[in-house]
């Protein structure tokens, strides 16, 4: 299921035909039991979520998720995915992660051996490619992208993601440019 499926679902539930330009698929056949499968894969994109990096920088990534795997391409692995470690604008450190007791404990105890793993998983920079075996690791904790036994799956998913980016005219398929970083942030 993808967020893009909501609008076609609501339209069909209201007795209207979804527009042909919509990329989502109605969930009604799944919800009414006419089918038990909806789609084989879901594609994901991320650019800028909040103003949490100095210079108003984004954290662009693209991903494809199947029943077996999640493949993520981090397009700017030199940036912090959870926001800069120091407070920027109006949010605290690592501002893409909402504040709360769990975040406070992890950040305050990040140097302790029992917390270092949680800090790494939650806040550290990510490699250019991540691959998770959802059958063996449904919690997506172990990146297997560099393991030789997963090379074929990584190659297949990388190719699938490249094809989808081209088919959908994703600007990142054709350019290394970061135009999103030059747009003013709506919040200020």
Q: What is the pLDDT at residue 116?
A: 94
CA distance 129 to 84: 20
CA distance 147 to 125: 19
At 161, give phi and psi (nearest 5°): -65, -45
Q: Tens of pLDDT along 114-142?
A: 999 999 999 999 999 999 999 999 999 99
Contact 26, 9 (CB under 8 A): yes
Q: How far is CA 51 from CA 88, 96, 107, 119, in A?
A: 7, 8, 20, 21
Contact 18, 41 (CB under 8 A): no
Q: What is the pLDDT at residue 12?
A: 93
Q: Which of helix, strand or coil describes residue 20?
A: coil
Low-confidence ranges of the chain (pLDDT < 50): none
Closest among 132, 118, 119 to 72, alpha carbons compared: 132
CA distance 116 to 89: 27
Q: Exposure of 82 by Cβ count < 10 A (0-12 exposed, 13-18 middle, 19+ buried)?
A: buried
pTM: 0.86
Contact 4, 14 (CB under 8 A): no
Question: To which H or E segment does residue 115 belong?
Answer: helix 113-123
Q: What is the pLDDT at residue 187?
A: 61
């Amino acid at each position: 299921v993808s967020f893009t499926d909501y609008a076609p679902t609501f339209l069909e539930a209201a007795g209207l035909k979804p527009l042909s330009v919509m990329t989502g698929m109605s969930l009604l056949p799944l919800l009414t039991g006419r089918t038990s499968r909806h789609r084989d894969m879901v594609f994901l994109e991320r650019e800028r979520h909040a103003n949490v990096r100095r210079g108003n920088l984004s954290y662009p990534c693209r991903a494809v998720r199947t029943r077996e795997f999640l493949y993520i391409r981090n397009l700017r692995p030199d940036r912090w995915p959870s926001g800069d470690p120091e407070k920027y604008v109006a949010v605290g450190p690592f501002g893409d992660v909402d504040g709360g007791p769990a975040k406070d404990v992890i950040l305050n105890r990040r140097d302790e051996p029992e917390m270092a793993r949680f800090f790494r998983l939650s806040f550290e920079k990510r490699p250019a490619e991540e691959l998770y075996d959802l059958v063996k690791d449904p919690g997506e904790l172990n990146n297997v992208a560099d393991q030789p036994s997963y090379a074929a799956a990584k190659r297949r998913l990388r190719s699938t993601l490249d094809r989808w980016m081209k088919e959908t005219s994703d600007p990142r398929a054709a350019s290394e440019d970061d135009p999103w970083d030059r747009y003013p942030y709506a919040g200020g």
